[in-house]
Amino acid sequence: MSVLRAGDAKFHYSDGSHKWIPPDPDYDQEVWNEQVRQHLHRHLRNEPPKVRVRRVIVG
């Protein structure tokens, strides 16, 4: 199971699938592809988050 980290939202649709089309039409597609590949690689390596994410539990 993958963990979303701060900053990962730009690479995911709401269903958790990955965005292979850059959010800005003027963004270089090859650069975006490489960023998504690196993002996927972090998923596969299951790297711990580089920032601490706090969750508020309401209950």
4, 11 contact by CB (below 8 A): no
Six-digit token string for 58: 């309401």
Single pTM value for the model: 0.64
Query: How many Cβ atoms from other residues are within 10 Å of residue 11's Cβ?
Result: 20
Question: Which pair of tokens denotes residue 7?
Answer: 């900053």
SS3 of residue 18 by DSSP: strand
Token pair recorded at residue 35: 């960023």
> Residue 28: its pLDDT value, please?
95
DSSP letter assigned to residue 52: -
Positions of the chain with pLDDT lower than 70, given as ranges = 1-6, 47-57, 59
